């Protein structure tokens, strides 16, 4: 079995999972958090090297104040306990997205978690928080414009390598497999540049019901694909 090097996940359906059970949406996020922690270890066991999850988009601020604060509190809790534990188990954690838009205490927790796990050589775990691909590209372009303005580079120095190196995912290989749960088949502003040649897999399961078996099924489907990169093999 060919194990994808980098698997990215759009975790969707927490709200629908809760609704189906007559629970408040928040409870779906609580259960979804537990799934993230389980999948982190499952991915590692399967031999996946890079695992990236979409936790909170730049658009998600438009949700109710109540839901946004529940999500932020849940993030606080995972960044200080569950993910911290993973970091102590050789998992390297990186946050992608605009960290400056997060509460100062969350920014501090992130800085600590990233620094303390930077030398870890196990699973490379990326969490997208306040992440939007258009926002990421926009930030990269402003930086490029400044580099040109300041004479650091010329316009001809802006090539694919420059762009890749100045996105939040610098040093992280592009995903081989993207999974979106809960039946929706759209990107919702996730990794537009990085997913150029990625295989997509859509699962009907709501994220809180996603498990190792379902992850293995996605990898099995990935193995049946005839991967191409523009060349007719
Ligand atoms: C995914 O579940 C989690 C986040 C976007 C934070 P949703 O909250 O989007 O769940 P649905 O799509 O409403 O079911
Ligand atoms: C995408 O899910 C964002 C995350 C998984 C964090 P959404 O549920 O927010 O996306 P849309 O609104 O259905 O496109
Ligand atoms: Mg959703």
pLDDT per residue as tens digits for the range 19-47? 999 999 999 999 999 999 999 999 999 99
Residues whose CB is less than 8 angstroms from the CB of residue 5 and which lie 6 or more positions away in sequence, other chains included: 48, 49, 50, 173, 176
Q: What is the pLDDT of residue 55?
A: 98
Asked whether the predicted pLDDT for residue 225 surpasses 80, the reply is yes
Burial class for 115, CB neighbours closer than 10 Å (0-12, 13-18, 19+): exposed
Known catalytic membership, residue 223: no
Query: Residues 174, 196: contact at Cβ < 8 Å?
Result: yes
Q: Which of 14, 44, 60, 73 is catalytic?
A: 60
> Bigger pLDDT: 233 or 120?
120
Please give all residues whose beta carbon lies within 6 A of any atom in ligand 2, as ranges: 10-12, 54-57, 60, 184, 186, 188
List alpha helices for 81-165, DSSP H: 82-88, 104-117, 133-149, 160-165
Predicted confidence band of residue 233 (pLDDT cuts 50, 70, 90): low
* Spatial separation of the C-alpha atoms in residues 30 and 70, rounded to whole Å: 9
Query: Residues 178, 9: contact at Cβ < 8 Å?
Result: yes
pLDDT per residue as tens digits for the range 100-143? 999 999 999 999 999 999 999 999 999 999 999 999 999 999 99
Q: Which of 2, 5, 12, 73 is catalytic?
A: 12
DSSP strand pairing (92-96 vs 50-57): unpaired
**Mean pLDDT across the stretch 165-193?**
98
């Amino acid at each position: 079995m060919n194990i994808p090097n980098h698997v990215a996940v759009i975790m969707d359906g927490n709200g629908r999972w809760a609704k189906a059970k007559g629970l408040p949406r928040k409870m779906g996020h609580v259960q979804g958090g537990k799934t993230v922690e389980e999948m982190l270890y499952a991915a590692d066991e399967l031999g996946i090297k890079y695992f990236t999850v979409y936790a909170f988009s730049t658009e998600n601020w438009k949700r109710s104040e109540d839901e946004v604060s529940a999500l932020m509190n849940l993030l606080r809790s995972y960044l200080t306990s569950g993910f911290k534990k993973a970091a102590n188990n050789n998992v390297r954690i990186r946050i992608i997205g605009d960290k400056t838009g997060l509460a100062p205490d969350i920014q501090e927790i992130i800085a600590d978690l990233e620094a303390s796990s930077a030398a870890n050589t196990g699973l490379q775990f990326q969490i997208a928080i306040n992440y939007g691909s258009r926002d990421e590209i926009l930030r990269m372009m402003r930086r490029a414009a400044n580099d040109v303005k300041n004479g650091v580079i010329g316009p001809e120095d802006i090539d694919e390598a420059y762009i890749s190196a100045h996105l939040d995912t610098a040093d992280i290989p592009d995903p081989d497999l993207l999974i979106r749960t809960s039946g929706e088949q759209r990107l919702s502003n996730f990794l537009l540049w990085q997913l150029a040649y990625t295989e997509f897999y859509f699962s009907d399961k709501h994220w809180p019901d996603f498990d190792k078996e379902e992850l293995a099924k996605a990898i099995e489907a990935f193995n049946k694909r005839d991967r191409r990169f523009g060349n007719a093999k």
